Amino acid sequence: MAPVKNYEQEVQRRQLKRVIALGLGVLLFGTVSLRLIEGWPWFECLYFTVISVTTVGFSELHEPSNLGRFVVMVIIGGGLLTTALAVNLLGMNLLSHYWAHHRNKMQKVIDELSGHIVLCGHGRLGQIVRRELDAAGRSYVIIESNEEILDELESEGVLCLHGDATDEELLLQAGIERASGVIAAIGSDAGNVFITLTARQHNTECPIVARAEDPLTERKLLLVGATRVVTPYQLGGKRLAHAFLRPSAVELADLALGGEDHEMLIEEVELPLGQDPKTTTLRALDLGNRFRLIAVAVRAAGAPRPQFNPAADHPLAPGDHLMLMGLREDLDAFQASQP
């Protein structure tokens, strides 16, 4: 972030030098021109130039000739141009200070976040991810390099950082060490590999979901620490095929993912550490009668794959994950009932 700030300051300094040089050039041109054309004393020529540049309109000391009047018009035009550039520079400087102050405030909010998700990239895929995170009520920080997208996010009050998501310092500014998850969704496979590697170095526990354009990149992403790898084109192609070949299976998948068109959804819920591993079973939880929920699968803590259609006497331990199907309010009621 510092190099960008220094670059902006350097640009503003150069523009200020140009405005000052233009103003001095107009004064010098007017003074010398009036001296050569009208033959007035140097101080009177300077004075006449100053009141012309500033368009003050004091009474003229001498009546200029026609050529002198032309020079005065040029002086007035140069003065107006210098003023316009100066006002523009001042406005840019004030706007830059405003956004710097705004981003400093945003950084303070990010520094206080914990358990959030770091979303790298807000392109077409990242926008869909963001909508899902909003629907799930999850807090997140977006890292985006496109300034137009960033301006739109800032206008909406979204926590975001400007820059390349492969920049380790920027990932640290996003609070990756305190994050509960990372989603690497930029358009570069190499960039997503680097994001995944950096995230895993600074956060050894959080899940990392990475995007891969090339299926061959999936193995590399898993090797450097990705928990899941998604290949959008491959996934989209399979969905198109299954929407024709197995439409009911696609509807069931939509049900699991949830959405505006589905009242029912499947959600993964982690059992709290307060659960008694000796007595807790699916029968003891009585999910159907108490919460109108169906246990679709159970994934033991640390197990790579879930066990589908578990028996009623299946023992549950703290940290196990239940995949439950039901209405949103019933799922929320079950989570609220846990110690």
Same domain, 153 and 173: yes
**254 lies in some domain:** no
Above pLDDT 70, what percent of the chain? 87
Whether residue 140 is contained in a domain is answered as yes
- Does 261 score more than 60 pLDDT? no
Residue for token pair 């995949």: 323
* Sole residue written with tokens 């706007």: 95
Q: Which of 16-20, 203-207, 262-266, 283-287 has the highest mean pLDDT?
A: 203-207
58 pLDDT higher than 90: no
Query: What average pLDDT does the segment 5-25 reach?
Result: 80
Predicted pLDDT of residue 165: 93
Residues 119, 82, single domain; the answer is no
The residues pairing with 323 across neighbouring beta strands, listed in sequence order, are: 268, 297
Write down which residue in 193, 214, 235 finishes a domain. Answer: 235
Residues 96 and 193 placed together within one structural domain of the fold: no
Indicate if 208 and 293 belong to the same structural domain.
Answer: no
5: pLDDT strictly greater than 80? no
Q: Which of 192, 209, 242, 195 has its CA nearest to residue 129? A: 209
pLDDT range class, residue 2, cuts 50, 70, 90? very low
> Chain-wide mean pLDDT for the chain?
85
Nearest to 50 by CA among 20, 90, 78: 78
Q: Predicted confidence band at 59 (pLDDT cuts at 50, 70, 90)?
A: low
Q: Among 20-29, 141-150, 326-335, where is mean pLDDT lowest?
A: 326-335
Write down the H helix ranges in the chain: 2-38, 42-53, 66-111, 124-136, 147-155, 168-173, 189-202, 217-223, 232-245, 247-257, 282-285, 287-291, 328-337
Q: What local confidence, expressed as pLDDT, does residue 14 receive?
A: 86
* Residue where one domain finishes, among candidates 109, 140, 167: 109
pLDDT of residue 326: 86
What pLDDT does 24 receive?
92
Quick one: pLDDT band at residue 3, thresholds 50, 70, 90?
very low
Domain interval for residue 54: 2-109
The strand order across the sheet containing 160-162 reads 160-162, 140-144, 117-120, 181-184, 208-211, 228-230
Q: What would the mean pLDDT of 215-237 be, rounded to a whole number?
A: 90
> What CATH number is attached to the domain comprising 269?
3.30.70.1450
- Assigned domain for 252 exists: no
Least confident span in 67-71, 98-102, 132-136, 300-304:
98-102
Cα separations (Å) of 145 from 149, 163, 186?
8, 5, 10
Residue 36: CATH number of its domain: 1.10.287.70
Kindly state whether residues 30 and 54 are assigned to the same domain.
Answer: yes
As a whole number of angstroms, the distance between CA 310 and CA 319 comes to 17
Instruction: Please tell me the predicted confidence (pLDDT) of residue 256.
Output: 61
Confidence of residue 278 (pLDDT cuts 50, 70, 90): low
Say yes or no: 104 and 54 in one domain. Answer: yes
Read off the tokens for 292: 């109108």
pLDDT at 212 over 90: yes
> Do the beta carbons of residue 176 and residue 162 sit within 8 Å?
no
Asked if residue 251 belongs to a domain, the reply is no
* pLDDT beyond 70 at 201: yes
Same domain, 122 and 85: no
| Alpha helices for 142-216 (secondary structure H) | 147-155, 168-173, 189-202
Are 150 and 100 within one domain? no
pLDDT at 137: 86
Phi, psi for residue 96 in degrees, rounded to 5: -65, -45
β partners of residue 183:
119, 209
If one compares 259 and 171, the residue with the highest pLDDT of the two is 171
Residue 207 phi, psi dihedral angles, 5° rounding? -70, 145
Per-residue pLDDT, 117: 96
pLDDT at 275: 58
For residue 325, is it within any domain? Answer: yes
In a domain, residue 270? The reply is yes
Query: Based on the structure, what is the number of domains in the chain?
Result: 3
Q: Is the separation of the CB atoms in 80 and 87 below 8 Å?
A: no
- Give me the mean pLDDT over the 258-276 stretch: 68
101 and 12 housed in the same domain: yes
29: exposed, middle or buried (Cβ count in 10 Å: 0-12, 13-18, 19+)? middle
Mean pLDDT in residue range 44-58 = 82
pLDDT at 118 over 80: yes
Per the domain annotation, does 76 fall within a domain?
yes
Task: Residue count of the chain, please give it.
Answer: 339
pLDDT tens-digit profile of 309-337? 888 888 888 888 888 888 888 888 888 88
Q: Are 50 and 130 members of one domain?
A: no
Q: Would 241 be classed as within a structural domain?
A: no
Do 222 and 192 reside in the same domain of the chain?
Answer: yes
In the predicted structure, residue 1 carries a pLDDT above the cut 60: no
Q: Which of 206, 214, 256, 212 is closest to 230 using CA atoms?
A: 212
* C-alpha gyration radius of the chain: 33
What's the pLDDT score for residue 314?
84
**Residues facing 294 on adjacent strands:** 325
CATH number at residue 171: 3.40.50.720
Domain boundary (188, 214, 235) is at 235
Return d(Cα 106, Cα 162) in angstroms, integer. 12
Q: Are both 95 and 120 inside the same structural domain?
A: no
